[in-house]
Amino acid sequence: MIQVNTSDEKSKFGISPELAINLIREIALFDRIHIKGLMTIGLFSSNDEEVRKC
């Protein structure tokens, strides 16, 4: 599982979406490591439009 910071909030952790694709490609070169999915934590806001951007 790879954690992706889709909201770009400094209080949250994870790799940026821009770097995630390259990381997945690099990990795919290893025979014994298998990515099961992505974990994201979106923006906490009452503004639905801002949340959808994440």
Q: What is the pLDDT of residue 35?
A: 93
Q: How many domains does the chain have?
A: 1
Confidence of residue 19 (pLDDT cuts 50, 70, 90): very high
What are the φ and ψ backbone dihedral angles of 35, each rounded to 5 degrees?
-80, 130
| b/e sequence 26-37, b meaning 16+ C-beta within 10 Å | eeeeeeeeeeee
Confidence of residue 5 (pLDDT cuts 50, 70, 90): very high
Domain that holds residue 16: 2-53
Q: Please give the sequence-ordered ranges of beta strands (E in DSSP) within the chain, or none if there are none.
A: 2-4, 38-40
**pLDDT one-digit tens code per residue, 33-48:** 999 999 987 777 788 8
Confidence of residue 4 (pLDDT cuts 50, 70, 90): very high
Q: What is the pLDDT of residue 50?
A: 77
CB 2 within 8 A of CB 40: no
